[in-house]
Amino acid sequence: MSRINPQQEHIQQSVILTRGLSQRAPSGAPLLCVATMPVVLRSLLTAKRAGATKFLVVLDADTGADVRRALERSGRLPAGVEWLALPDGQGSLTAALGEIAERADDQFLLLPGEATFHASLLSQINSPDGDSAMALMVSERPTGIYRFSRFAARAVASQAPPLQSVEELNAWLNQVNLVKHKAVDEAYWQPIAQAADLPTAERKLDRWLYKETDGIWARLNRHISIPISRVLVRLRMTPNMVTLFTLLVSFVSGTFFAFGGYVNAVIGALLSHWASVLDGSDGEVARLTFQESDFGCWLETMCDSLYYVFVLGGMVMGLYRTSGGLIYLVAGGLLAFGSLMSIITTAYQRRRVAPQQPEKYLAKWGKQMDTHPENLFLRF
């Protein structure tokens, strides 16, 4: 029987099967690329995004060497990756789970290396809960995403016939009453059995780039920013590069506003909107390539604030140069003070509300405000 540590809030280990999602998946499926990244590497980094700190990659005798070589050459493997090479002739899931049971923690997540899936799916099963397995299902079809226990893995290895796919694994676990099921939305999971599945996976990945906190204008901008982000990913641009380029566009926009005159104002407005569109691309590139970081979040916050300084400051200077009215300088001073207060307040709130996940500050802040008894907006 497995023992659950009451101090362990989340399962720390993820086991990635490089083959086994479906009987129809060819040997090269894990190395097919979605947004320039091999599918199996996406599984690894999605597990890391969901909080995993230990990873066990299961390699079969036929394709294991190629998969490991490709992953190591990517330079993107997270720390804590271990390898489990199955002996020749032991490529079944039954044999694999027997080997996994000897290397895995008491509780672990079993993940497919032949599918893309949203990290939010893992949050639904990443808490330890007894000896039985938990399978995520889409329309009664197993996704290949399981919460597994060492006890269940040993039971499969010692009692089950040779199982060749997760469909067979799920059927056997059902038969012996060793699995629970949880239905999930197909929009957050896409199996990759062949190249023909890639366009669907790409479209779903685009939809995952939208954020809960997006307003109507942000959603409209994403129709433009997401295709741009796709190009930037292919060009190997990092999120911080995109952020700094957006800052440059903001500065040029403010400069045109500061020149004054109708034509310069129109050019400044177009550049300002362009900067607004690009403002979504740095985060999209980060999410597409799993390059989110605390520094990147801080840099984006600072550059967002400087956008308003440049654009509003340029508008004030342009209006003053055009009309000579001192009222615009007074307004500019007030705007500068407000921008400074906004920067200080945002930095303080981000550290207080989401110190470990600064990129989720707005979502967490919004949820707190919705339930706060002193929120005046709830009284209307």
Q: In angstroms, how far apart are the furthest CA atoms of the chain?
A: 87
pLDDT digits (tens, 9 = 90+) for 87-137: 876 668 888 899 899 988 899 999 999 999 999 999 989 887 777 889 999
Q: Say if residues 213 and 363 touch (Cβ distance below 8 Å).
A: yes
Q: Say if residues 365 and 348 touch (Cβ distance below 8 Å).
A: no
State the pLDDT at residue 357.
58
Q: Which residue has the higher pLDDT, 377 or 333?
A: 333
Percent of the chain with pLDDT over 70: 87
Q: Say if residues 272 and 219 touch (Cβ distance below 8 Å).
A: no
For the chain, domain boundaries: 13-198, 209-367
Instruction: Please say if the pLDDT value at position 268 is more than 80.
Output: yes
Q: How confident is the model at residue 21 (pLDDT cuts 50, 70, 90)?
A: very low
Q: How confident is the model at residue 361 (pLDDT cuts 50, 70, 90)?
A: low
31-35, 154-158, 209-213, 257-261, range with the lowest pLDDT = 209-213
Domains 13-198 and 209-367 in one fold: no
Q: How confident is the model at residue 4 (pLDDT cuts 50, 70, 90)?
A: very low
* Fold annotation for 209-367: Four Helix Bundle (Hemerythrin (Met), subunit A) (1.20.120)
Amino acid at site 212 = E
Q: What is the mean pLDDT of the chain?
A: 85
Which CATH superfamily is 13-198 part of?
Spore Coat Polysaccharide Biosynthesis Protein SpsA; Chain A (3.90.550.10)
Instruction: Please say if the pLDDT value at position 272 is more than 80.
Output: yes
pLDDT digits (tens, 9 = 90+) for 37-83: 999 999 999 999 998 999 999 988 878 888 999 999 999 999 889 99
18-32, 143-157, 231-245, range with the lowest pLDDT = 18-32
Q: How confident is the model at residue 7 (pLDDT cuts 50, 70, 90)?
A: very low
Q: Say if residues 143 and 112 touch (Cβ distance below 8 Å).
A: yes
Q: Say if residues 34 and 192 touch (Cβ distance below 8 Å).
A: yes
Instruction: Please say if the pLDDT value at position 365 is more than 70.
Output: no
Give the total residue count for the chain: 380
Q: Is the dihedral of CA 113, 117, 123, 128 positive or negative?
A: negative
State the pLDDT at residue 359.
57
Q: Which residue has the higher pLDDT, 297 or 73?
A: 73
Q: How confident is the model at residue 369 (pLDDT cuts 50, 70, 90)?
A: low
State the pLDDT at residue 342.
78
Please give the model's pTM, rounded to 2 decimal places: 0.83
Q: Is the dihedral of CA 311, 313, 316, 321 positive or negative?
A: negative
29-38, 153-162, 314-323, 353-362, range with the lowest pLDDT = 353-362
Q: How confident is the model at residue 341 (pLDDT cuts 50, 70, 90)?
A: confident
Mean pLDDT to the nearest integer, 305-332: 87
